[in-house]
Structure 1
Amino acid sequence: MSFKSIVRELKEMRDGIGSTSRRGGSGSRHWHSRTKSHIVPDVTLAPLEHVQQGQWANLPFDLLVDIIRRVEESETTWPARAVVVSCASVCKSWRAVTKEIVKTPEQCGRLTFPISLKQPGPRDSPFQCFIRRNRETSTYLLYFGLVPSENETDKLLLAAKKIRRATGTDFIISLVADDFSRSSNTYIGKLRSNFLGTKFTVYDSQPPHGAGMQLNSRSSRRFHSKQVSPRVPAGNYVVSTIAYELNVLRTRGPRRMQCTMNSIPISAIQEGGSAPTPTSFPQIIDKHFSPSPAAKGKGLISDLNHATLSEVPVQSEGSLEGLVLKNKAPRWHEQLQCWCLNFKGRVTVASVKNFQLVAAVDPSHNVSPAEQEKVILQFGKIGKDIFTMDYRYPLSAFQAFALCLSSFDTKPACE
């Protein structure tokens, strides 16, 4: 059988599994439609029992590795990269080999599984994404790609919903665009602002890989509980803070912001340094997920110590001092009579929201000048309710998206 025939057989097998889900009821149809329009979460890769016993389960190991390696090397961009995810959905052995072959975004420069959204981006060239804002529903959708396509084949990475409260604003971040419940398996974090919209806190639903957690006595008692409500999400861990300078008199030019990345040590941008890189979502999701309609919209019972609603500060690994990012200072253009930044063609519309972030370090940290000048995250407007977001190492897509969402909140005291 040819290589193309094998891949075609895999697609037919995956479509057959989807058809079975559609026959299960409206809830199953909803689950199936999500997996076709989004990156399929690792949790959905848990194989069904009859698939494990299929004709592909006992394929010789060397041949299996060769097939998946060829697929991984040939399918470089979405939506074609869904074939790689399909390989991991065949059975347990295929999943194990696929996860072994597929590298992190930092290593291969590709986004594959949902956990890639919480892993640092590539070091050399940034991932280029765009954000679509919907004013009516107060939602923000992050897509992978240069600009929106006409045939709606853009890959949705993350979605956020803006919720106004009496004391501030929350942005709930999810893997899907139609479920923003904190008790859902798709909830991965949130952004919260103060009343003035000058300070923001980014919360992650899981502790960063290898990070040391600081617990107080109250939260420790809750963290060690063995009985957790099935509707309680994984948790809220403080991974970064954002502060905008006050500019009430409007005499300091554009917005000025400073981002403290508690979960990323300064050593990450030094020579030979590395940023925390999670390899999977909490085990409870991976072990107990079920695509049945009864599981839709519900959390799962867990005995994990970190499954709690407590908001826990996180220390960066290897250093008590987290990486600090600041916005790159724009220059005043005399002829145009405006502030300008070089976005290299990625931003085309003037907006107070436009910014570029670089590392803010002092000479004692031994960071090269080139690394200090490197733009780690840039965000800007290209059309009505369309914004570009380009990020690179050591930020992840989740972290970059949260930082950009802070620009959408109203800031009367900053501009």
Structure 2
Amino acid sequence: MSLMGIVKDMKEGIGNLSRRGSDGRLWRGRTRSHIVPDQPAQLEEFEQGQWANLPPELLLDIICRVEASEAVWPARSAVVFCAAVCRSWREVTKEIVQTPEECGRLTFPISLKQPGPRNNHIQCFIKRDSGTSTFRLYYGLTPSEDENDKLLLAARKVRRATSTEFLISLVADDFSRASNAYVGKLRSNFLGTKFTVYDSQPPCDSSVKTSGRPSRRFHCKQVSPRVPAGNYNIGTVSYELNVLRTRGPRRLHCVMDSIPLASIQEGGTAPTPKAFPHLFDDLCPVASQNLKRKEDQIGPSEQPCLVSGDRLILKNKSPRWHEQLQCWCLNFRGRVTVASVKNFQLVAAVEPHHNIPDSEQERVILQFGKIGKDIFTMDYSYPLSAFQAFAICLSSFDTKPVCE
């Protein structure tokens, strides 16, 4: 049987299994997220299927070929199908698949929390639905005509009395904080000039001091304490006030509390989570019930996630004034085609004593801009992750009466 025949056979046999995703390992489909208790008997029976007993050398060769040949979606979903066959296939696939920083590809959900590539950008686009106040992040250059775009993240805008929140999820139909699809949120201040990015779980376990209670209220839908719970402050996005209405575009800067400045220095690294941690795996049922009652009384908390040393600060790249066109211009290399106050490019803001190379200071880490009605491009690179970049871009969609 040919290699593609094997992959096709796997797709037919385990199509629904690839959307399981309750353990955070496999790529999610568009279905509603639920937490399902472990079923050892069924898993053991599935392990004895026809694909579980392949010789290790043959298994490694098959997965290596699939991973190397399928570079973009939707073809890259074949790699996810390999990881969904059985436990042995999943372990081999996890060993072979590299992080976005190393290979420039997105594969499993955890890829959205890992830094992008150093030498190029991962190109995505955002679709805005003003009627439902939702925003969807897709993987690819531009929207396709057959609606086969790969959904990465979705956000819903919720207006509060004193702030605006963008709830971010892995799926487009469930934004509940109690869902295992919930990955974080973005919250603004009253004026819409400062935004705080919250992650549902710490991006780097060693840099976070956890409290004795969970950080998010347990909900009645939550049937197991295995769901990661928390709101960890990983960064802020600030827009400069423009009350005098002086000429010029928006000016913003981002303080990434979870990313050290040393990450962009030679030999530096950014926090790279390998899996979604289960913070409450060791809690007994009685303890989890007590935590639930305590949370119902005092409400959720929000904890800072601070790195040691200097934090990475991003600033928008200053545009130049074009005399002939009478407008501000930035070189988006063809990725932005429509003039908009929302368009921006972010670069690292460093002091001279930090000894950061000039090439690194000029490198565009994140760019965002409009290409059509309710369609925007988002290109990000190391050390930002897709989740962090999406949260920063969402801040541009909120109303800012004192910044325009």
Residue in structure 1 matched with residue 390 of structure 2 by the alignment: 401
Change (3 A) 1:228 1:381: closer
Secondary structure of 1:395's counterpart equals: coil
Change (3 A) 1:70 1:44: farther
Structure 1 residue 229: deviation in Å? Answer: 6.4
Residue in structure 2 matched with residue 360 of structure 1 by the alignment: 349
Paired residues of 1:234 and 1:309 also in contact (CA < 8 A)? no
Structure 1, residues 221-244: CA drift from partner, whole Å, max 9, x if none?
A: 32599x966738510000000111
Structure 1 residue 42: deviation in Å? Answer: 13
Paired residues of 1:123 and 1:392 also in contact (CA < 8 A)? yes
Structure 1 residue 16: deviation in Å? Answer: 6.9
Paired residues of 1:228 and 1:302 also in contact (CA < 8 A)? no
Paired residues of 1:228 and 1:301 also in contact (CA < 8 A)? no
Structure 1 residue 282: deviation in Å? Answer: 1.8
Residue in structure 1 matched with residue 277 of structure 2 by the alignment: 282
Change (3 A) 1:44 1:253: farther
Paired residues of 1:391 and 1:400 also in contact (CA < 8 A)? yes
Paired residues of 1:211 and 1:263 also in contact (CA < 8 A)? no
Paired residues of 1:158 and 1:175 also in contact (CA < 8 A)? yes
Letter in 2 for 1:401: F
TM-score by length of 2: 0.87
Structure 1 residue 50: deviation in Å? Answer: 2.8
Letter in 1 for 2:366: L
Structure 1 residue 12: deviation in Å? Answer: 1.7
Q: 1:312 aligns with which of 300, 303, 309?
A: 303
Paired residues of 2:191 and 2:400 also in contact (CA < 8 A)? yes
Partners of 1:126 and 1:281 lie apart in 2 by 24
Structure 1 residue 213: deviation in Å? Answer: 2.1
TM-score by length of 1: 0.85
Letter in 2 for 1:249: L
Letter in 2 for 1:350: A
Partners of 2:38 and 2:52 lie apart in 1 by 15
Paired residues of 1:145 and 1:154 also in contact (CA < 8 A)? yes
Letter in 2 for 1:6: I
Partners of 2:133 and 2:152 lie apart in 1 by 17
Q: 2:204 aligns with which of 203, 209, 227?
A: 209
Partners of 1:301 and 1:89 lie apart in 2 by 33
Paired residues of 1:173 and 1:180 also in contact (CA < 8 A)? yes
Paired residues of 1:45 and 1:95 also in contact (CA < 8 A)? no
Secondary structure of 2:15's counterpart equals: helix
Give unmatched runs, 5+ long, in structure 1.
22-33, 288-299
Matched, 1:129 2:129: no
Residue in structure 2 matched with residue 26 of structure 1 by the alignment: none
Secondary structure of 1:222's counterpart equals: coil
Residue in structure 1 matched with residue 193 of structure 2 by the alignment: 198
Change (3 A) 1:35 1:311: closer
Q: How does 1:15-414 map to 2 (within 5 A)?
A: 15=15, 35-37=28-30, 48-214=43-209, 220-223=211-214, 231=222, 234-283=229-278, 309-316=300-307, 319-414=308-403
Letter in 2 for 1:202: V
Secondary structure of 2:314's counterpart equals: strand
Structure 1 residue 210: deviation in Å? Answer: 4.2
Structure 1 residue 43: deviation in Å? Answer: 9.7
Structure 1 residue 8: deviation in Å? Answer: 2.1
Structure 1, residues 119-152: CA drift from partner, whole Å, max 9, x if none?
A: 0001111001000000000000000111111110
Secondary structure of 1:188's counterpart equals: strand
RMSD: 3.1
Paired residues of 1:242 and 1:259 also in contact (CA < 8 A)? yes
Structure 1 residue 310: deviation in Å? Answer: 2.0
Structure 1 residue 49: deviation in Å? Answer: 3.8
Change (3 A) 1:41 1:150: farther
Change (3 A) 1:372 1:140: same
- What is the aligned length? 380
Letter in 2 for 1:129: C
Residue in structure 1 matched with residue 5 of structure 2 by the alignment: 5
Identity of aligned residues (%): 66
Change (3 A) 1:89 1:110: same
Change (3 A) 1:129 1:390: same
Change (3 A) 1:380 1:14: same
Partners of 1:361 and 1:86 lie apart in 2 by 43
Residue in structure 2 matched with residue 291 of structure 1 by the alignment: none
Letter in 2 for 1:384: K
Partners of 2:344 and 2:219 lie apart in 1 by 41
Letter in 1 for 2:10: L
Structure 1 residue 10: deviation in Å? Answer: 1.0
Secondary structure of 1:206's counterpart equals: coil
Residue in structure 2 matched with residue 297 of structure 1 by the alignment: none
Paired residues of 1:42 and 1:114 also in contact (CA < 8 A)? no
Letter in 2 for 1:414: C
Residue in structure 2 matched with residue 28 of structure 1 by the alignment: none
Partners of 1:42 and 1:111 lie apart in 2 by 24
Give unmatched runs, 5+ long, in structure 2.
21-26, 283-287
Paired residues of 2:178 and 2:219 also in contact (CA < 8 A)? no
Paired residues of 2:215 and 2:300 also in contact (CA < 8 A)? no
Secondary structure of 1:149's counterpart equals: coil
